[in-house]
């Protein structure tokens, strides 16, 4: 993986500062801050109930924070939401494809929403399908695809408008091991090529091994931010799974491994 310089010359793709979000009396996020740079593959790791879903909802513009600031490519998500969200690609945990439409129709709907010229859209769609081994299947209904291939279509869709920030929200849920590894390799390659900054939200420890950085979220707070090796060293040389469970003991037994 690449390790871009986080110097004054480098401009973060995403900046979140002291994000806070409550649902009634429940404080879901307490004061979350992070920065992501182009070329970084950053894993957001946390047990169920840690606040990952709330953070993803804020980062994707579905909700706004009660407090704190959030910008994508320098655009504040409150004041300049269209410009901020134009730089964002998302693959959500729950599929949002229309199962009865073809692959092509699903992808063209996305490019139309982003105002991409039809000729350019078709070129990008064809390139994406070829990259992920789906060429020749443009007319196939999404309902007929395997879970792994549906995820490929969602990844292609998320990248059609050339975002600089790619948010993957528990994107491997329900996939078989081979499909899970294939999806991860594809996204890691995008970051390695310097095309995007990736935030990979997961509760599975084995999905963060090759990340540039791991953000461990627990009870609404970032309790660790650094390379996986540093997390292991900080715990006294335990395995990555044990280091995670030391920080988040409530994750034990909840599919954290």
Residue 98 CA to its chain's centroid (Å): 21
Q: How confident is the model at residue 29 (pLDDT cuts 50, 70, 90)?
A: very high
Q: Are residues 112 and 224 in the same domain?
A: no
Helix %, strand %, coil % of the chain (to 5): 35, 25, 40
Residue 202 forms part of a structural domain: yes
Q: How confident is the model at residue 11 (pLDDT cuts 50, 70, 90)?
A: confident
**Cβ(205)–Cβ(235) below 8 Å:** no
Q: Are residues 245 and 176 in the same domain?
A: yes
Q: Is 186 exposed, middle or buried (0-12, 13-18, 19+ CB in 10 A)?
A: middle
Q: Are residues 123 and 153 in the same domain?
A: yes
**Cβ(139)–Cβ(102) below 8 Å:** yes
Q: Are residues 238 and 187 in the same domain?
A: yes
Q: Are residues 156 and 73 in the same domain?
A: no
Q: Are residues 81 and 156 in the same domain?
A: no
Q: Are residues 53 and 129 in the same domain?
A: no
Residue 92 forms part of a structural domain: no
E strands, 25-176, are 26-36, 41-45, 67-72, 75-76, 88-91, 165-169
Q: Are residues 195 and 219 in the same domain?
A: yes
Q: Are residues 78 and 172 in the same domain?
A: yes
Q: Are residues 213 and 156 in the same domain?
A: no
Q: Are residues 170 and 257 in the same domain?
A: yes
Domains contained in the chain, number: 2
What does the block give as tokens for 193? 């090529």
Write down which residue in 162, 190, 206 finishes a domain: 162
**What CATH number is given to the structural domain containing 82?**
3.40.50.300
* pLDDT tens figures, 116-175: 999 999 999 999 999 999 999 999 999 999 999 999 999 999 999 999 999 999 999 888
Residue 251 scores a pLDDT above 60? no
Write down which residue in 146, 162, 178 finishes a domain: 162
Q: What is the extent of the structural domain holding 155?
A: 98-162
- 3-state DSSP assignment of residue 102: strand
Residue 227 forms part of a structural domain: yes
Q: Which one has a higher pLDDT value, 213 or 2?
A: 213
**Cβ(198)–Cβ(42) below 8 Å:** yes
Q: What is the DSSP letter of 74?
A: T
Q: Are residues 233 and 122 in the same domain?
A: no
Residue 154 forms part of a structural domain: yes
E strands, the chain, are 14-23, 26-36, 41-45, 67-72, 75-76, 88-91, 165-169, 197-202, 213-218, 221-226
**Cβ(88)–Cβ(81) below 8 Å:** no
Residue 93 forms part of a structural domain: no
Which residues are CB-neighbours of 23 under 8 A, at least 6 positions away?
none
Which of 3-7, 56-60, 90-94, 177-181 is predicted least confidently?
Answer: 3-7
Residue 252 scores a pLDDT above 90? no
Write down which residue in 162, 182, 213 finishes a domain: 162
Query: Strands 14-23, 26-36: parallel, antiparallel or unpaired by DSSP?
Result: antiparallel
Spell out a b/e string for 120-152, using b for 16 or more CB atoms within 10 Å of the CB, else e. Answer: ebbebbeebbeebebeeebeeebeebeebbbbb
Residue 185 forms part of a structural domain: yes
Rounded distance between C-alpha atoms, residue 37 and residue 87, angstroms: 13
């Amino acid at each position: 993986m690449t390790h871009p310089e986080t110097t004054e010359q480098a401009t973060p793709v995403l900046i979140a500062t002291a994000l806070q979000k409550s649902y009634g009396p429940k404080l879901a996020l307490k004061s979350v801050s992070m920065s992501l740079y182009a070329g970084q593959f950053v894993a957001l790791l946390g047990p169920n109930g840690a606040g990952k879903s709330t953070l993803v909802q804020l980062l994707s513009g579905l909700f706004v924070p009660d407090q704190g600031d959030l910008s994508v490519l320098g655009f504040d998500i409150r004041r300049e939401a269209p410009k901020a969200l134009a730089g964002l690609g998302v693959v959500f945990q729950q599929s949002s494809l229309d199962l009865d439409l073809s692959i092509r129709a699903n992808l063209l709907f996305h490019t139309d929403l982003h105002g991409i010229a039809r000729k350019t859209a078709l070129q990008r769609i064809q390139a994406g399908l070829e990259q992920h081994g789906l060429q020749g299947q443009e007319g196939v209904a999404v309902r007929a695809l395997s879970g792994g291939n549906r995820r490929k279509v969602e990844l292609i869709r998320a990248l059609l408008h050339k975002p600089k920030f790619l948010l993957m929200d528990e994107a491997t849920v329900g996939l078989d091991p081979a499909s899970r590894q294939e999806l991860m390799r594809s996204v890691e390659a995008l970051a390695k090529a310097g095309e995007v900054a990736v935030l990979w939200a997961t509760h599975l420890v084995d999905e963060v091994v090759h990340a540039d950085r791991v953000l461990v979220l627990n009870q609404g707070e970032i309790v660790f931010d650094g390379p996986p090796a540093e997390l292991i060293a900080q715990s006294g040389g335990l395995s990555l799974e044990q280091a995670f469970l030391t920080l988040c003991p409530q994750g034990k037994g909840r599919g954290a491994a």
